[in-house]
């Protein structure tokens, strides 16, 4: 089994903590929505996909997979493209920052993760951490 010898950098730990803090916030939003409205089957599917992607992000990032930041960037690009396709003036709801109200969290995420790109691997789910074995030295 292939392993990696680098420990998890502190900035990636910060990104993982931010994801972990976002889960209870998202769950509380879902519970509030379920109390107020009757969701459609598409709503269930989209929330299920979001849950799977967040779980993948956390798992793959904790094992230093390069696919986690790639998927995050693609998800943000898709989100912004979808918003512009359905309502070209959607940024008017964010009068101070406009589109940067949505892009800024992804830029912070990328600033935390991308400095460690060389340590990361291309395995879809990353590689587990194993400390390097100490070399046995025979002393005569």
- Report the distance separating Cα 121 and Cα 29, nearest Å: 34
Phi-psi region of 137 (alpha: psi -120 to 50; beta: other; left: phi over 0): beta
Q: Which two tokens stand for residue 38?
A: 């009757």
pLDDT cut 90: percent of the chain above it: 22
Phi, psi of 28 (to 5 degrees): -65, -35
Tell me what the mean pLDDT of segment 51-76 comes to: 90
- CB-based contact 127:6 (threshold 8 Å): no
Model pLDDT, residue 44: 84
- The predicted pLDDT at position 86 comes to 87
Among 72, 61, 74, residue whose Cα is nearest residue 17 = 61
How many Cβ atoms from other residues are within 10 Å of residue 12's Cβ? Answer: 20
pLDDT exceeds 70 at position 139 = no
Average pLDDT, the chain: 83
pLDDT digits (tens, 9 = 90+) for 8-42: 888 999 999 988 888 888 888 888 888 888 888 88
């Amino acid at each position: 089994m292939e392993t990696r010898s680098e420990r998890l950098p502190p900035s990636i730990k910060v990104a993982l903590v931010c994801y972990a803090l976002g889960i209870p916030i998202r769950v509380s939003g879902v519970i509030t929505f379920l109390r107020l409205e009757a969701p459609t089957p598409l709503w269930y599917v989209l929330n299920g996909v979001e849950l799977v992607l967040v779980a993948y992000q956390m798992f793959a990032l904790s094992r230093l997979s390069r696919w986690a930041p790639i998927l995050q960037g693609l998800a943000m690009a898709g989100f912004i493209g979808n918003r512009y396709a359905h309502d070209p003036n959607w940024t008017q709801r964010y009068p101070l920052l406009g589109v940067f109200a949505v892009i800024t969290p992804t830029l912070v995420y990328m600033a935390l993760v991308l400095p460690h790109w060389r340590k990361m691997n291309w395995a879809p789910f990353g590689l587990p951490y194993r400390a390097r074995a100490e070399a046995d030295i025979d002393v005569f």
